[in-house]
Structures are given as structure tokens and as C-alpha cells.
Chains A and B, each alone.
Chain A
Amino acid sequence: MSLATDMTRKLSFAAVCAAAMLAASALQAQQAVQIQVTYSNGQFQPNQVSALADKPIVFRIKNLDGKAMEFESKSLRVEKVIAAKSEGVVNVRALKAGRYEFYDDFNEKARGALTVQ
């Protein structure tokens, strides 16, 4: 019985912590820099983008093609399937300066890079 109440207390504490985290994250997301990329005829447009260091980034990828694509980058740690004729949002954490390559995992020919200064 005491075990159960102890468990309940711990769980409610965890829930409060989780709620606080969500509130904090919503605040942080607002400061993100947006990068618009269009995907059509199997190519990124533009395929070279840049952003400032130490700022979170939000990619908005518009897939104009008739088939799905997967926006992927090992160095950015992102992977997202974007259905045909739709837009995908990809969050990226604040980055250090450098070059980060991305590509379409369903089509190796489509490649691009993000330069962070």
C-alpha cells in the first residue's frame, strides 16, 4: 500500500517536471531561425543555405514532387519523410560553425548543405 502511494507521488512529481520542460521548450522554439527549401524535380532549391551559429533552426521543406522524399542528414541528426505535395517542418538545435550536408534518402542525387557561421 505504502509502495503504491510512494509510486503515485513520484509519478506526479515526474508529470510536473515534464510539464515544466514542455513550457520551457515552447519558449525556446520561438527564437528559431527559419530556412525555406523547396524540393522539386528531385532537387533542393536552394541547395546551399546558411545560418548563424548558436541559434536553433527550423527547416521548412516544401515537396512539390509527386512522390515522397526523406529529408536526412547525419550531421544534423535529422530524418523526416515528407509526403508528395506537402510541407515538412524539421527542427535543428543550435549548431557550431561548420558545413552540414543534407540529402534525400529516397534519391541520392538530391543533395545540399547548410553552412553555419
Chain B
Amino acid sequence: MLAALIIVFREVFEAGLIVGIVLAVTRSVPRRNRWIGGGVLAGVVAACLVAAFAGALSQLFEGMGQELFNAAILAIAVIMLTWHNVWMARHGKEIAGEMRAIGQAVAQGSKSLLALAVVVAVLREGSEVALFLYGVVASDGGSAASLTLGGLMGLALGVFVCLLTYFGLMRIPPRALFATTTVLITLLAAGMAAQAVAFLERANWLMPLDTVLWDSNWLLSESSIVGRALHTLVGYTDQPTEMQLLIYVVVVLATVMLMRLVGSERRQHAVASG
């Protein structure tokens, strides 16, 4: 039972952190629960589909289907999150100002991007849970009940982490919240990009700069709970390759540059028209 609890919890925990952040970002968007709830539901359905076809999926691309699929959906999430950040930068002035009504409209504009990011987060973490639980159902009935109980407890704990993240972020004053979530989402996206690199490296699709830079397992293991939280939030890896670090830095810099670019573009436009 404990094993089931741990396996389910650590996956739901990772998705829960991301959903918690997205909930905080969209807090003023009307009917956001419908969007995010829809994203979670779509993610769960997709995760079950992926689990059901896991065997077929991994046979693709000479046995590397799973890795490439993971890299692809992570790349989609990176694009969605970066796009969201750039969108917010373009309309950032309205949010920073007192015009809360416009601020709401702006956050609303990128809710579909964020909903998609939620789908991806739930899909990624959920497919492993689905595979594990499917194995539980398929195996002997005796231990199934206790394993299911463990799984449900893991799920409840994961949802608790999601709520903790959300209410933690809600304690930040609205003005600072925008800056905080922008930083969080940028690092989230960079971490996901580095993870995508790891999958491409495992698939042998990406060979250059694959030397491991350091091993900080002794300091903070990636499989510890703090390590996992940092892995999800900022992309912490205890044995990163050079390419992973490079892509991480590139995503952060690209986000900053794109946000500045559209921010200044808008300002010039405002001057020209005014």
C-alpha cells in the first residue's frame, strides 16, 4: 500500500504544483475553473489512452517512441508557457496598473494556452500512474484493494499539494503575484525544455554536448521530495548534461528577450499613436 501511495503521490504531486501555479495565474479569469478543470480532465483521459497504447507507442521509432513522445509534448508545453509569458508582457502595462478589469481580460486571453499546459502536465504524470494502476488491477485481487487505497491516498495528498501551492501564491499581493508567476513559469518552461533534451538524449536523437556536468546527488537527490519539487518547478537535475544546461539558459534568455521585444514594441506603438 505504501508503495502505491508513494508512486501515485509523486506523480500527482508534480502535476499538482503546475496546476496550482496555473490556478494562481488565472485567479481573476471568470469561469477559469471550467477551463482548468477541463484541462485536468482532458489530461486524465489522454493519460489513460497513452497508458493503454504504451506498448504500441514504445515500439515506434525503433523502440524510442516513448522518449520522443515525451520530448514532443514537453516541447509543446514549453511553447505554450513561453507564449503565455510573451502575451502577458505585451499587455503587462494594463495588469500592473490599477485597471483590474482590463487585467482580467488580458489573463483571459491566454487561458487556452494555460489550459493546454495543464493538459500536458497531467498527461505526462498521469500516464505512469495509469500504467501502474492498470498493473494493479491486472494482478491478483488480494492486494488490489490495499493498493487502490494507497493510490487514492496518494492522489488526495497530491491534490493537497496543488491547493497548498495555490493558496501559498494567493498570499502574495496581486501586484507582486504577476512578477512571481512570470518568473515561475519561465523557469518551469526552461526546466521542461531541459527534460525534453534528456528524452532526446535517451533516444540517441541528440548526441552533442552529452557530457554530464556535475553530480549533485550527494547534496540533493532528484528522487527526494525536495529534489522532485525543484525538478518540476525549476528543472533541477542532479546529473545535467552540457546540452541540458545550454537549452535551459537559451529558453530563459529567449523568454526575457521576447518579453522585452514585445514590451518595447508596444511602447513605441503607444508613442506613435499618442
Contact = CB atoms under 8 A, between A and B. Distances in A.
Partners in one complex: yes
Interface of A: 21-22, 24-26, 28-29, 66-68, 70, 74, 77-78, 80-91, 93, 105-108
B80 to A, nearest CB: 20
A22 B207 CA distance: 8
B207 A24 contact: yes
B212 A77 contact: yes
Interface string B77-98: 0000000000000000000000
B90 to A, nearest CB: 16
7 contacts: A21-B207, A68-B135, A77-B212, A77-B239, A81-B58, A86-B54, A91-B202
A28 B204 CA distance: 9
Contacts of B66: 80-81, 88
Contacts, number: 78
A21 B206 contact: yes
A74 B216 CA distance: 12
Nearest to B135: A67
B204 A66 contact: no
A29 B212 CA distance: 19
Closest 4 CB pairs of A and B: A67-B135, A89-B63, A83-B55, A25-B207
A74 B63 contact: no
B138 A67 contact: yes
Nearest to A28: B207
B132 interface: yes
Contact of A86 (B55, B138, B205, B207): B55
A93 B210 contact: yes
Contacts of B128: 70, 81
B264 interface: no
A3 B182 CA distance: 26
Given A77-B239, A80-B66, A83-B55, A68 B134 contact: yes
Nearest to A69: B135
Nearest to B130: A68
A68 B54 contact: yes
Interface of B: 3, 7, 54-55, 58-59, 62-64, 66-67, 128, 131-132, 134-136, 138-139, 198, 202-208, 210, 212, 217, 222-223, 239
A83 B138 contact: no
Given A67-B138, A74-B217, A106-B132, A83 B206 contact: no
A85 B138 CA distance: 12
Given A85-B55, A86-B59, A88-B58, 20 more contacts: A21-B207, A21-B208, A22-B205, A26-B204, A28-B207, A66-B138, A68-B54, A70-B128, A74-B217, A80-B58, A80-B67, A81-B66, A83-B58, A88-B63, A89-B62, A89-B64, A93-B210, A106-B132, A106-B135, A108-B3
Contacts of B58: 80-83, 86, 88-89
A108 B2 CA distance: 12
B132 A25 contact: no
Contact of B206 (A25, A87, A106, A108): A25
A93 B204 CA distance: 9
A105 to B, nearest CB: 8
